[in-house]
Amino acid sequence: MTLRRQIATAVAAISVLVAVAVGLLVHQAMIRQHVDQARASALTALDSALGAYARDGKVAGLDDPALPPRLRALVADGRRGSLLAGGPQGEAMWAAGPVQGGVVSVRVDFEPDRAAIADLDRIILITVVASVFTTVLVGVLVADRISRRLRTAATAARGIAAGRTDTRIGELVDGRDEVADLAAAVDLMSRALHRRLEDEQQFTADVAHELRTPLTGLVTAAELLPPGRPTQLVQNRVQVLRSLVEDLLEVSRLDANVETPYLSAVPLDRAVRRTVTLTGLDVEVEVAPGAADTSVRTDLRRLDRILGNLLVNADRHGGGPVRLGVDGLRITVRDHGPGFPDDLLRHGPKRFRTSVRERGRGHGLGLTIATGHARVIGAALTFANHPDGGAVATLVLPPTVTPGQDDDRADGPAGDSTGGPAHGPGQDAGEKRGERPAP
């Protein structure tokens, strides 16, 4: 049950209880007042009748057969009394007293009082309903305002969790109550998180740039070494280090959100088969009927990068066979290994982390880069585990731009749009279970 319904239900329940209690109290008080007035009138009339009997020796209400038995028994004991009772002529207040010749009684009709009480009950009922309706309406409005402000805060918090750390909700949540305090706390958290992310991104970029210059000299020096097995090992490790530095630079550019895709019409079937060929992996390609002629408008280099990283990741850390499926704008990469770790499924790829036990938990750069390029081209990249085993990465490309429709992104060559080197697919393919194995 939502907070708005909880508040409205609580207000309605309390207002109904209070209104019913007040109504019952008023009802009982009015009955008691009318009964007391009728009893006083009956006793006054009885005193007058007894006085008349004492003077004249006769009275109209002597030994009335309609006198209630209970009151007759009371008078038989030599006492006076009154009683509200019904009868053939309707409800009435009776008063009776003993005399030498029998019983003197008077009857005061109570039907007008009963009608007055019924009218009052109707007024009380209408008042109770009106007050409950008004109270509930006010409660719903107040609850809706509180709920709306809390939903605004919750939406902003989800946006922050999704990476939009520049989100601020202080100006959206007015007032000076606890909800406003919560909004201020969320804004403070967002600013602190934003600063930490900026520091982390700046650190990544600075490290990559600082390593690039000495690495260039190291590559040159490695090429000058005499041929031999030690030279091959050194050159191999230098190339791994160079690839890692280039990955860091690419991650820093993606983090800066300054990437611009260069769009062109791409036959999807040919594009994915081209990527598979460039990776050199044994991959089963399955194209759904009718998807062979599908053409998309996307950045071919970035598409190669995404699919290449996914395929290499599936080959290194999953189990064969690796299958690439194309169905419309949906591309799936599935392996038959142990599947994605729970941490990746919950939080997505994380840079510089790996699920390999000796290197900590998390994931490497390959899936992080694939996710960043998917965001640049407007695609959705999700990760899941297949019910029959294995991991499934699903890339959903955006709808194709129709002919004649303007696109706000520039067309250009399907090369490196970031200013850095254009890696081949899978060259730095990150890791589903972690980044590439340590050298």
The DSSP secondary structure of 157-195, one letter per residue, reads HHHHHTT-TT---TTTS-SSSHHHHHHHHHHHHHHHHHH
For 14, residues 6+ apart whose C-beta sits below 8 A from its C-beta are none
Structure tokens belonging to residue 382:
């999700």
CA distance 97 to 43: 10
What residue spans in the chain does CATH classification 3.30.565.10 cover?
264-396
Distance CA 417, CA 377 (A): 12
Alpha-carbon torsion 200, 202, 207, 212, what sign?
positive
Task: Return the residue matching tokens 């004492």.
Answer: 54
Of 179 and 286, more confident: 286
Tens of pLDDT, residue by residue over 147-163, are 777 777 777 777 777 66
* Alpha helices, H only, 280-382: 300-317, 342-347, 365-376
Task: Compute the chain's Rg from CA coordinates.
Answer: 45
Mean pLDDT of 295-301: 85
Smallest CA-to-CA distance from 334 within 395, 273, 392 is with: 392
Q: Is residue 400's pLDDT more than 70? A: no
* pLDDT at position 418 over 50: no
- 129 pLDDT more than 70: yes
Does position 219 have pLDDT exceeding 70, yes or no?
Answer: yes
Q: Do 276 and 285 touch, CB atoms closer than 8 A? A: yes
Nearest to 434 by CA among 346, 337, 368, 336: 368
Token pair 């002919």 in the structure block, residue: 403
The per-residue pLDDT for range 10-23, each reduced to its tens digit, is 888 888 888 888 88
Q: Which CATH superfamily is domain 264-396 in?
A: Histidine kinase-like ATPase, C-terminal domain (3.30.565.10)
pLDDT in tens, 36-93: 998 899 889 888 888 887 777 776 667 778 888 888 888 888 888 888 888 777 888 8
- pTM comes to 0.50
Fold of 178-255: Helix Hairpins (1.10.287)
Contact 404, 360 (CB under 8 A): no
Kindly report the length of the chain.
439
Between residues 364 and 336, which one has the greater pLDDT?
336
For CATH 1.10.287.130, the residue range(s) in the chain are 178-255
State the average pLDDT over residues 308-313: 87
Residue 303: pLDDT over 80 = yes
* Cis previous bond, 226, omega within 30: no
Please state which of the ranges 67-81, 241-255, 282-296, 355-369 shows the lowest mean pLDDT. Answer: 355-369
